[in-house]
Amino acid sequence: MIAAILLTTPLQAAGEEYLIRGLLTRLVGAYLSRMAGLVVATIISALVFMALHGAGDPWLNAFYLLFAVVGSILVWRTGGLEAAIALHVVNNVVGMAGLPFSDISELFDRQAGSGNALVLVQMTLILVVAALALWSGRRRRLVSESAPGAPLPAPVYAQLNNSTAWTTTEVRHEQHPG
């Protein structure tokens, strides 16, 4: 069971992120302006994420909604799915760590009454970890957007220009049409 958890859980979590935040969010956001697309896609993807987990308990549904919104914010602010996938994988692996050593007969019980206020602890941890990831990314000045032919942001350009990996002292960025 331990091997199954360690081998399949990361793939399952990554698959959910690619489907929900990768495909669905982009599909919805493509039809709207940037900010409206972000808001509408986040709401729709959060509702779909919650529905896919099939919980009938309000506490569990609140957790799934929060988790989905945090995942969408991570994707938006980092410019990729990696942070949301990492958060999802760690959340699921840690959540399943005790399964091999416990009674799993009620593992998939998500009916009303199966959750409780202890979910607030997990929700708080998700928020703290996401805030730390965003803070770390901002502190390291990670590039969160890219486009072919687009000039690099000034801090990245300066780092590249001063890097010993470059054999020339001048780095040129040509603006490509379209």
- Which residues, other chains included, contact 116 with Cβ-Cβ below 8 Å and sequence gap of 6+? 59
Q: What share of the chain is helix, strand, coil (3-state, %, to 5)?
A: 65, 0, 35
Is residue 71 within 8 Å of residue 51, measured between CB atoms? no
Mean pLDDT lowest among 16-20, 53-57, 111-115, 160-164: 160-164
Is residue 70 within 8 Å of residue 131, measured between CB atoms? no
Average pLDDT over residues 67-83: 90
Of 14, 2, 5, which is closest to residue 89 (Cα–Cα)?
Answer: 14
pLDDT digits (tens, 9 = 90+) for 91-119: 988 877 776 666 655 555 556 656 667 78
Mean pLDDT in the chain? Answer: 78
Q: Is 98 helix (H, G, I), strand (E, B) or coil?
A: coil
